Amino acid sequence: MAQRPAATVLTYGTFDLFHAGHVRLLARLAQMGDRLIVGCSTDEFNAEKGKLCVTPYEGRAEILRACRYVDLVIPEESWDQKRRDIRTYNADIFAMGSDWTDRFNDLRDVCEMVYLPRTDNISTTELKSRVLARADAAK
């Protein structure tokens, strides 16, 4: 088994309707270092972003804590906490999905930035749409 590099990786997300795409993303992130910290968006922060989650924050954080790739889960409460978290947790790598490419490049002065491609054909938004369509069809 290959030794993982000595690095702390930090990422953020909502992680609603936890699915295989989430697991695959976390696995890739974990391979980048020896410690993976995940900031999970709180319900209040999601409301500020206009997002409504199916699963409340505590449930999403519990699922993340149970994932073997994740070493620590922290609440994501605002856009501007990322720089502070990088310093607090001595993160070497800040990684996000490619749909966020270049959005956080201002953090390159404190850590390495990595944008990973999302898993093809798996999307929380798509899952929610399918569930709603099925519910409408059942009426």
Q: Could you tell me the end-to-end alpha-carbon distance of the chain, in angstroms, rounded to an integer?
A: 52
Residue 139 bears catalytic tag: no
DSSP three-state, residue 115: strand
Per annotation, catalytic residue among 51, 82, 128, 139: 51
Instruction: In whole angstroms, give the CA distance from residue 106 to residue 25.
Output: 23
Residue 51 bears catalytic tag: yes
Question: In terms of residues, how long is the chain?
Answer: 139
Are 30 and 11 within 8 A, CB to CB?
no
The residues annotated as belonging to the active site are 49, 51
